[in-house]
């Protein structure tokens, strides 16, 4: 189902980089960004407008090539090219114009990692309009073991019960276990993977942005950290953000997968309120990374 774009403003955060945005209150920034997108509706190459610099920063930190020497508020050929690649990745009309579909997609809640894969599948198609399919982190890092343990460690509390959280996360781990060599065991002591809920700045240099923006982020193998935004309205099959679907996505990152632009794949970066299951693309990505 489609989500109202005004209800879900998005703050793009990328792991392992310094936050490129001015230090403002998270929800204030989210509202500001939504207004910026609305104000840029219809802008195209050759035009200048306040807010193009913000769009330029978003595209850059989602992995799209941006020339920093360009004028900040000039919607030049470089911005148009980056926007077209964004539109192609998300299966939108590649108009190079900030149209309604682009605003809606940019406003969806999402994972904090960038769109553009560093390493695509073994036979990538250079055509920007073709699907990228599964991708990996730089250097294709992976675990050197298949029996992994996990535990919870949170700095924030949420309304969802601990038992419901454990069930959703446990189900997600067991889903990734299918048809491969991995096993996942919940423990209370030292573990390979640590997941939890946090708000705002929480010690990893990548602060969360409050409700309806970045839902979660995770680190490449063999780091093992998986963080959920404690300000989201988490649910189990309800009207909020589905805990199991987001867990499935972030565990994919924990195992070494980057984002995919296959529609409906668990590793698709945006969340549109639809509960997902592993697609063949998700399974192939893990299989080819570990050689199952």
Is 198 annotated as a binding-site member?
Answer: no
Is 85 annotated as a binding-site member?
Answer: no
The 8 Å CB, 24+ separation contacts for 85-89 are 85/116, 85/128, 86/59, 86/62, 86/115, 88/128, 88/129, 89/115, 89/116, 89/128, 89/132, 89/261
Is 25 annotated as a binding-site member?
Answer: no
The 8 Å CB, 24+ separation contacts for 200-209 are 200/26, 202/155, 202/156, 202/227, 203/155, 205/18, 206/13, 206/15, 206/19, 206/112, 207/13, 207/19, 207/26, 208/13, 208/26, 209/11, 209/13, 209/26, 209/27, 209/29, 209/30
Is 285 annotated as a binding-site member?
Answer: no
Measured between its terminal Cα atoms, the distance across the chain in Å is 34
Q: Is 227 helix (H, G, I), strand (E, B) or coil?
A: strand
- Beta-sheet pairing, 214-218 with 225-229: antiparallel
For the question of residue 244 being annotated catalytic, the response is no
- DSSP per-residue codes, 133-193: -S-B-TT----S-SEEEEEE--SS--SS-HHHHHHHHHHHHHHHHTTSS-EEEE-SSS-SE
Is 76 annotated as a binding-site member?
Answer: no
Is 229 annotated as a binding-site member?
Answer: yes
Is 249 annotated as a binding-site member?
Answer: yes
Is 217 annotated as a binding-site member?
Answer: yes
Q: Which of 104, 244, 250, 268 is catalytic?
A: 250
Which DSSP helix (H) or strand (E) runs through 88? helix 77-89
Is 99 annotated as a binding-site member?
Answer: no
Annotated binding site for Ca(2+): 209-210, 229, 232
Catalytic residues: 250
Annotated binding site for Zn(2+): 111, 202, 204, 217, 227, 249, 253, 259, 267
Annotated binding site: 111, 202, 204, 209-210, 217, 227, 229, 232, 249, 253, 259, 267
């Amino acid at each position: 189902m489609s989500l109202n774009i005004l209800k879900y403003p998005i703050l793009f955060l990328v792991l392992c980089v310094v936050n490129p945005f001015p230090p403002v209150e998270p929800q204030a920034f989210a509202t500001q960004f939504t207004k910026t997108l609305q104000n840029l509706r219809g802008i195209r190459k050759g035009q200048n407008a306040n807010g193009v610099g913000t769009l330029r920063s978003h595209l850059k930190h989602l992995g799209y090539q941006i020339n920093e020497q360009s004028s900040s508020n000039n919607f030049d050929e470089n911005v148009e090219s980056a926007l077209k690649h964004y539109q192609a990745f998300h299966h939108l009309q590649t108009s190079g114009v900030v149209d309604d579909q682009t605003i809606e997609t940019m406003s969806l809640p999402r994972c904090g990692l960038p769109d553009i894969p560093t390493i695509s599948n073994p036979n990538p198609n250079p055509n920007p309009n073709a699907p990228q399919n599964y991708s990996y982190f730089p250097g294709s890092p992976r675990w050197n073991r298949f029996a992994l343990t996990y535990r919870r460690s949170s700095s924030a509390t949420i309304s969802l019960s601990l038992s419901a959280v454990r069930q959703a996360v446990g189900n997600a781990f067991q889903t990734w276990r299918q048809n491969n060599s991995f096993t996942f065991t919940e423990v209370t002591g030292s573990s390979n993977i640590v997941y939890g809920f946090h708000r705002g700045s929480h010690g990893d240099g990548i602060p969360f942005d409050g409700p309806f923006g970045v839902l979660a982020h995770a680190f490449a193998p063999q780091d093992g950290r998986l963080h959920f935004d404690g300000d989201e309205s988490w649910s189990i099959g309800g009207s909020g953000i589905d805990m199991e679907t987001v867990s499935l996505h972030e565990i994919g990152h924990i195992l070494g997968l980057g984002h995919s632009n296959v529609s409906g794949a668990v590793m698709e970066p945006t969340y549109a309120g639809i509960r997902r299951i592993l697609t063949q693309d998700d399974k192939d990505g893990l299989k080819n990374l570990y050689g199952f």
